[in-house]
Structure 1
Amino acid sequence: MKELATRHIFLIRHQRPNVSKSGFFNQQQASQFLKNYDICTIEQLVNKPAGLPYEHVTQVFCSTLPRAKQTAQAIFGNEVSLIADPVFNEFPRQIFPVPFLKFPIKFWLYGARVLWLLGLNNQDLEPFHQARQRARKAAQKLAQQADKDGKVVLVAHGFLNFFVRRALRKMGWQVVRQDGSGFLGVTELVKK
C-alpha cells in the first residue's frame, strides 16, 4: 500500500493595514475606523515570512478583503493565481452604541468582538455560530485542496485563521509551526 505524502496547509495573517490607531475615538469615529480598515491599503512589506514553500506556490487562497489580497500579492508576486473567496473573510464586527464618550480604538474593537461573541452585538451581522460553521467549511476546502496539491496557502485574518486552525486540528491536522497571531504570522499544519 502506497503511503500518502505529507500534506501542508499554511495560514498567514495579512500585513498591517495602513490606518492610524492613535488617539481617542467616539462611536462614530470608531465606526468609520472599521470601514477604513476594511478598504485601506497595507503597509509596505519589508520582509517576507520565512519558511514558506515559495517555489511550489502557484495559487493562493485569500479573503475578498483588500488587506488579504494585497498581502498575498506582496508575498507571492503577481505570478500566482489568487483565489479570493468570501468563505475566508474575517468574522464580522460592528461598533456598539456608547454616545458622547471617547476611548482608544482597542476598547471599541475588543468590546465589539466580545459583545458579538456573546450574541449581544450582532444585529444585521452573521452570528458567531454561523461564522464558526463558515470556518469549518473553509478548513474543509483547504484540506481538499491539500489532498490534490500537497501544499496550500491561505492569506486571511486573525480570528478566521484561529477557527480554521481549530477545525483542521479536529480533522487530524497537526500544528508544526505557529508564529503567533500578529500581522504576517504563519501557522503551518501537516497531515500524512
Structure 2
Amino acid sequence: MRVQWKHVREAVNSTVKIGLVRHFRVKHAYPAKLLVTPDEVAEWFAGYDNADIEYGHVDLSGGDWQHCFCSDLPRAVKTARAIFPGEIIILKDLREIEPYPFRGNRIKLPFLVWAVLVRLVWYFKSHPNVESRRAVRERVRRVVDRVLQSDSDALVVSHAALMPFLRSELKRRGFRGPWFGHAANGLLYVFER
C-alpha cells in the first residue's frame, strides 16, 4: 500500500479552532430597590431571560468559521445571528445553567448578594429541581462532540455560567486557549488543537 504523504502532512498540519462567545450584554437593569426577596430575584431572572440585547461587534479574526452553534435562549440566538452570516445550529444543551430556586418573601438581601448566593449554593448543594454539576458536564460533552463532528472551525455562542465548563471540556480534549474567569459579553475566546 502506498501512503499519500501529502494528505498525511495536511491532516497533521490542519488545526481545528473552536471560538467561544458569550452573548451580547442584556438590556435588563438590576432591581431599583436596595433589598429584594427571593421571589423578586426569581422574577428578575425571568425578565432577564426575555430581555433584548445591546448589539455590538465581535472580532472574528483568528478562524475560518464555517459553523455556528448557539443556545436556544433568545439572547444567544440574537447574538449568533448578529455575528454569523450562515446557518446557525441551535442546541438546547448550550442553555444557561438554571439558578438555584430560592423562594419566599421573608428574607431580604441586596440583589448582588442574591446573585452570588444563587451560584454558590448551586455549586455546593444539590437540589432535586436543579441540574447537577455532573449533568452540566455531561451536556457540555454532548455539545463538544456535536461541534467536533463538523470537523471545521466553529463558533459556540453560550452563557457566562456554562463557558467555564466548555473551556474545561475543550482543555480535557487537548485544545489550547485562553483562561477566563467570568467571560466578557461579545468577546471571542479561540481554542485550537
Which TM-score band applies after superposition, normalised by the shorter structure? 0.7 to 0.9
Q: Is the 8 A contact 1:178 1:185 kept in 2?
A: no
Is the counterpart of residue 33 in structure 1 residue 60 in structure 2?
no
Offset, 1:98: 5.7
Is the counterpart of residue 128 in structure 1 residue 133 in structure 2?
yes
Offset, 1:141: 2.0
1:100 to 103, 106, 117: 106
1:20 to 29, 44, 57: 29
Alignment of 1:149-160 (within 5 A): 149=152, 151-160=153-162
Cα RMSD for the two superposed structures: 2.2
Q: Normalising by structure 1, what TM-score?
A: 0.84
Alignment of 1:1-192 (within 5 A): 1=5, 2-3=8-9, 4=11, 5-23=14-32, 24=34, 25-45=36-56, 48-52=57-61, 56-76=64-84, 79-97=85-103, 99-120=105-126, 122-145=127-150, 148-149=151-152, 151-175=153-177, 181-191=183-193
Residue 162 of structure 2 aligns to a residue whose secondary structure is helix
Measured against aligned partners, the alpha-carbon deviations of 1:78-127 in whole angstroms (never above 9, x if no partner) come to: x421111111111121341463333332221221111111124x331222
Q: Normalising by structure 2, what TM-score?
A: 0.83
Residue 38 of structure 2 aligns with an amino acid whose one-letter code is Q
Task: Give the paired residue count.
Answer: 182
Q: Is the 8 A contact 1:177 1:189 kept in 2?
A: no
Instruction: Choose 1 or 2 for highest CA Rg.
Output: 2
Larger % of strand: which? 1
Gap runs ≥5 in structure 1: none
Gap runs ≥5 in structure 2: none
Measured against aligned partners, the alpha-carbon deviations of 1:10-48 in whole angstroms (never above 9, x if no partner) come to: 000001111111433222111101111112111232xx1
Give the percent of matched residue pairs that are identical in Structure 1 and Structure 2.
23
